[in-house]
Structure 1
Amino acid sequence: MAPIFFRSSVSLPFLLVAVALCSLPISSADDGIATFYTDTTFACENQDPGTNYAAVGQSMYDNGGICGRQYSVSCTGATNESPNPCRGGSVIVKVVDLCESCEYGHLDISQEAFSTIADLDAGVIKISYQPDGILLSRGVNDFFVCYNLQYNK
């Protein structure tokens, strides 16, 4: 396939700055807790939950404005005296539900997502979480800056 050339009013320096910014960390992580659930009835409409999904409390839910947003979640430790339940690594979850009993920073994630980062026997874990990408707009389709540059090379 031949390359496609186009004219644009965007200047080369602007594009270079945009590419450079895509390589910088955009946000710092927040601390919270995670639990897991297996319910398959979701408050967010028009979202394919996949297997790694999450529910958030009313304070994060934003009347459904957060639906479809993805977060990178890592286990940081136990919430009690038990041995460290963390498996290492992180998992990307998609917000598809409202958790009525969750406070801000409490993510109720799918059992599959939880078991990726921690031992299920723990039940509740300390986490670090941050948005996966930069949200440009909200709606049925979320668009993230840098996605094509970083993931579709």
Structure 2
Amino acid sequence: MKTTFCIVFISCLVSMAFAAPGTATFYQQYTPSACYGNTPVGVMIVAASDPLWDNGAICGKIFTVRCTGPTNPFPHPCYDGKTVTVKIVDHCPGCGGTLDLSKEAFETIANPVAGVIDIDYW
């Protein structure tokens, strides 16, 4: 039991050490998507910005996302310690953020009234 806990704890620390900073926005229309067309793939999903898109090579990749702070005057948008696991299903050219989360994914980690948040993702 102690060994399992140690392994899980260390893997979490290693994952967070390799986290990339970015910003996140959210959207509400999930289909059609650039990766899966009209096939629904759930609601814990995300669209990738141009720098991540890589001609669709990122389709299906799974990320863990954590809110790290506000990008605007909205105070304290983050739900402390919360993370969300999302799957890349779409492309958001010029979306204004690194990741464009589904509204359900966004509201898991932050208050959607904020609109845009700083994030770490890995």
> How high is the TM-score relative to the length of structure 2?
0.79
User: Partners of 1:48 and 1:29 in 2: how far apart?
Assistant: 28
Question: 5+ unaligned residues in a row in structure 1: which ranges?
Answer: 1-19, 131-153
Return structure 1 stretches of 4+ with deviation > 6 angstroms: none
In structure 2, the partner of 1:97 is 90
Superposed CA deviations along residues 111-139 of structure 1, whole A, max 9, x for unmatched, are 00000000010000010101xxxxxxxxx
How many residue pairs were aligned?
108
Q: In the TM superposition, what are the counterparts of 1:77-116 in structure 2 within 5 Å?
A: 77-88=69-80, 89-102=82-95, 106-116=98-108
State the one-letter code of the partner of 1:45.
Answer: Y
Query: Among the aligned pairs, what percent are the same residue?
Result: 44
Give structure 2 stretches of 5+ with no counterpart.
Answer: 1-6
Aligned to 1:43: 34
Partner of 2:63: 71
Give the structure 1 partner of residue 3 of structure 2.
none
The 3-state SS of whatever aligns with 1:45 is coil
Q: Which shows bigger deviation, 38-47 or 116-125?
A: 38-47
Residues in 1 aligned to 2:58 and 2:112: alpha-carbon distance in whole angstroms: 26
2:98 is equivalent to residue 123 of structure 1: no
TM-score of the two chains, using structure 1 as the length reference: 0.64
Deviations 1:18-42 (A, max 9, x none): xx8xx64256101110000011220
Q: Which amino acid aligns with 1:34?
A: A
More helix by share: 2
| Cα-to-partner distance string for 1:31-54 (whole Å, 9 max, x where unaligned) | 110000011220003775211100
SS at structure 2 position matched to 1:67: coil
Give the AA of the match of 1:37.
Y
Amino acid at match of 1:95: I
Q: Distance in 2 between matches of 1:57 and 1:125?
A: 15
Question: 1:72 aligns to what SS in structure 2?
Answer: strand
* 2:42 partner SS: coil
